[in-house]
Structure formats: C-alpha cells, structure tokens
Homo-oligomer: A and B are copies of this chain.
C-alpha cells in the first residue's frame, strides 16, 4: 500500500473509473421513512451518478408530500401500484428500506420488472426468505446489492488497505461494538425493530450485523463458527430475545471476532483489529453522523487520523450506481448478505442452546 494515499488522499475512491454520466441511475425509493428522507434522498441528490425519480409508500399522501420537496421526483405511488408496475419506465433501480420481513416482496417485483436492487441490511428476516431473494435475482439476472455502507466508508477501506498491506501483520482478534438507545431514538414501543416477525431479530440482527459484516470485509473471510449470548430485560423487548447481544465468531486461521450490540445502551460504535504487528481501530465507526476516526498503532507509534467526513450514503449510492454504469458486480451481493443472515441466526441458536454452532 502507498502510505501517501492514507495521508494525502484519504477518501479517494479506489473503486471509481466513471465520475460523471449523461444518464444517471434513476431510483425508486421503496419506503419513505426518516432514513429515506434524511439520509438516502439527500445523498442521491448530491450524487453525480444517480437521482431519485419515484417514491413508493403505503401512504400516498406522505409520498406526495415528500415528492413536493424534491426537484427530481416524478411519481409518488403506493406499494400496490409499484407491484402493478406503475411508473416503471421512470426508474432503473430500487432502494428497499422497508422493515426487514418485507424486503423480499419488493425485490421480487423489482427483479420481475428488470430493475437493479439496492436492499438494506439485514437483507431479510429469515434465512429462507433471504435465499429466495438470491434465487429470484439470479433467475431474473437482476443486480442485487446489500446496503453495507461500511464497505465504502473511507476509514474502513483505509483500515482494510493497511491490513491487506501487512501493516499490522496477521490479524488475530477483532473487537466490534454498536449500541444505541432505540426507544429514545424512536420513542415507539410498537416499532417494527422490536417485533420478531417484522425484523427477524433485534440487537444482533439490526446492528450486530455492522460489526459482523465489517469484520468479514476487513478480514476478507467468512465465519466458521459462532457462540453467543442474548438478553432482553426491559418490557418493551419482550417479543425479541436480544435487547442486548454478545457473540463470538471464529474465522479461518483461528481469528476470533468478539461483537456486542445493544438497542438499550449509550450510542457508541467501534471496530478494532489486533494483529501480530499492530492494531487498527475505527472509532467512532458505524453511525453516519459521527466523525469517524482511524487509529493505527504499530510498534511504539500511535497515529490518530482525522479526515474530511464524507457522506456514507452518498458513497454507497455512487458505488452502486457506478457498478450499474460500468456493468460491474457489487461486492456485497445477495450471497454475501445471506452469509450474515445465516451467521446471525446461528448466534440465536447458539445463545439458546449454550452450544457453539458451526456454519457450513
């Protein structure tokens, strides 16, 4: 690795060839909640490679209200109209950001309509539905990317550059954490994240996936075995086992990742890789509104790298659009996302049984 890239051009997009286009990727947003309005749409609006042209919601009025505030949105339609193919000439791709257990139906329709799909993580609420999503997209030859925005976060990519370049030697341990007070952020005890059927899991599924997937990305490896514990204490979490989740993942070459996630703790996040020669740590790491930092320790030298914060969502949308414009497969595809679903479901089995669970 060229260290000057780390110091002088921290946020360079090593994946990018095309920086402008006359035909931006036109997105239909499936789901118009706060994340779409406050994170996804502004990111797409800033992007040179894509634009939002269609909004899809269960609530037409809400969709129309949001559309009225946008210069690019041409259609505000209902979920039923989406499934009926309405306005399908007006978009090239969909961004699926509904509750987890409803991702599949929108991906199926999008694939049938010949659209590309950017689907939020976790990709679905069960292994069977995630597998079905992969099959559907393969059958229809539809491009499917799972929205792991850490994979295009510059701090994480530079950490990976350092690891790949051998700067910390062979990885030995990963520690990862993501915690938030979900009932303060979304003060609704009936929200879907606390509903097992809608979410497929709470702390491990919704935010434990950040440590897990980022560990996989940094190590360029997939889990072999998991152990774990979960606990739900507060009444609001009675429908899910994991208000709190702690799990340990065995990767090839005896690399162990120890991950924690809580929906009822102070907002915090980090990921750290300790190797035979040094350490890299991204902290804060996972929340887009935090100023991420990269910390590197090798020998007696500790370095804390601050950099211009980029919009994680813009990076992700531009990466996906770039894949479509250059006819390139996205790295976090359906099979990639399915591995996380299998791993997290194994965490629940391990926690329930008190036994390590091997992944095939």
Contact = CB atoms under 8 A, between A and B. Distances in A.
Interface string A242-259: 001011101001101011
A264 B227 CA distance: 23
Contacts of A177: 173, 175, 274
A330 to B, nearest CB: 31
A298 B268 CA distance: 10
Contact of A258 (B254, B260, B268, B276): B260
A169 interface: yes
A170 B284 CA distance: 21
Interface string A217-233: 00000000101110101
Contacts of A246: 173, 248, 256, 258
A268 B262 contact: no
Contacts of A231: 254, 256
Contacts of A1: none
A274 B265 contact: yes
Name the residue among A250, A277, A354 with the largest chain B CB count within 10 angstroms: A354
Copies of this chain per assembly:
2
Count class of interface residues, chain A: 35 or more
A279 interface: yes
A356 interface: yes
Contacts of A253: 233
Contacts of A279: 266, 268
Contacts of A354: 227, 355-356
A276 B356 CA distance: 28
A275 interface: yes
Nearest to A295: B283
Contact of A274 (B179, B275, B298, B355): B179
Nearest to A259: B258
Contacts of A233: 253-254
A278 interface: yes
Contact of A229 (B172, B248, B259): B248
Contacts of A172: 179, 244, 260, 262, 264-265
Interface string A317-360: 00000000000000000000000000000000000001110000
A85 interface: no
Contacts of A179: 172-173, 274
Given A169-B266, A227-B248, A246-B248, 8 more contacts: A175-B258, A177-B274, A227-B229, A227-B356, A248-B248, A266-B298, A355-B355, A355-B356
15 contacts: A173-B265, A177-B274, A179-B274, A227-B228, A227-B356, A229-B250, A229-B356, A231-B254, A231-B256, A233-B254, A244-B254, A265-B274, A266-B297, A268-B274, A268-B297
